[in-house]
Amino acid sequence: MLIDTSTNRHGAPEDNAAPARRPHDDAPDTAALFRRLAALEDGPERDSVRDTLVTAWLPMAHRIAGRFRDRGESIEDLRQVAALGLVKAIDRFDPERGAFESYAVPTITGEVKRHFRDRMWALRVPRRVQELRNKVRVARRELTQNPGSPEPSVAAVAAHTGLTEEEVSTGMEALESFSTLSLDAELSTGADGYSLADTLGSADTSYDVVVDRESAKAGLRRLPERERAILYMRFFEDMTQSRIADRLGISQMHVSRLISRSCARVRDEVLAERANRRGGGSGSPPASA
């Protein structure tokens, strides 16, 4: 998805006389829109609300992208990556769990850091391929050193180097495909210079949380209504087992057993589903006790 990243704050001209702002103190009030988005099913209306949220928060994504300028990527490319991170943050945000910017800033920042990691990480080329690449590079330079010399064919390079045509093809492919860059390479010449390694982020563990949550949804839906309600009160409303017991008129020990049994059932179904996928099975859930 290509996102229009030309917005400057909310489309208004900049006021040079305005007082200095903190990073996100112009954040739009979109709490109602997020609640509406969460309540809508997929469709045109939801897409419209989502687009409105993207437009409202795009200036923040631009500022985050601006922190990574002058690191070997154009600011427009960085803005597109940050906008993608913004869309992911909007899609995954739970309006009941705090302010959007608290969730969005690390999500967008992580997306930009992953972009640098994925696009610029030095490749480990096998030694044999490195040797072929170097021989082909030298041969091509020697065969084209005279002005007007045509690009040598695979057969010509093979004859010049004593390699087979297959080896020459491998060397040419490596020569054209690999562009390595040391992680210690300086990307800034200023006083506060930094290396490529400084721009690389760690793995975002929030993706694992999302995967686990999505995997558990089907099993949660299959639980009896009372057990679903107990899990909701315990893990989403943060109620103690004693309070849950009082509300339902049962013992705290019974609540504890129901929580343990429900969690074990959902966990077993998720693990069985993953095992079936790896083994090519149908993924049918185990029968309930």
Q: Lowest-pLDDT range, 56-70, 123-137, 225-239, 242-256?
A: 123-137
**Rounded CA separation 136/154 (Å):** 10
Q: What is the pLDDT, as a whole number, of residue 42?
A: 87
Q: SS3 of 195, please? A: strand
pTM of the model: 0.38
CA distances from 135 to 34, 147, 156 (A): 59, 21, 13
Percent with pLDDT over 90 in the chain? 29
Digit-coded pLDDT (tens) for 164-191: 999 998 888 877 655 555 555 555 555 5
Which is more confidently placed, 15 or 186? 186
8 Å CB contact between 40 and 46: yes
Most confident stretch, 80-89, 144-153, 172-181: 80-89
8 Å CB contact between 276 and 282: yes
Q: What is the pLDDT, as a whole number, of residue 76?
A: 87
Q: Lowest-pLDDT range, 2-16, 60-74, 262-276?
A: 2-16
**Rounded CA separation 148/151 (Å):** 9
**Rounded CA separation 195/178 (Å):** 20
Predicted confidence band of residue 11 (pLDDT cuts 50, 70, 90): very low
Which is more confidently placed, 73 or 251? 251
CA distances from 48 to 7, 85, 165 (A): 18, 18, 57
Predicted confidence band of residue 246 (pLDDT cuts 50, 70, 90): very high
Domains and CATH numbers, the chain: 31-119 (1.10.1740.10), 127-177 (1.10.10), 206-279 (1.10.10.10)
Q: Lowest-pLDDT range, 24-33, 41-50, 248-257, 258-267?
A: 24-33
Q: What is the pLDDT, as a whole number, of residue 3?
A: 55
Which whole number is the average pLDDT over 32-51? 90
pLDDT exceeds 50 at position 19: no
Which whole number is the average pLDDT over 58-74? 85
pLDDT exceeds 60 at position 124: no
pLDDT exceeds 60 at position 279: yes
Q: Three-state secondary structure along 120-152?
A: HCCCCCCHHHHHHHHHHHHHHHHHCCCCCCCCC
Percent with pLDDT over 70 in the chain? 69
Q: What is the pLDDT, as a whole number, of residue 191?
A: 57
**Rounded CA separation 250/33 (Å):** 39
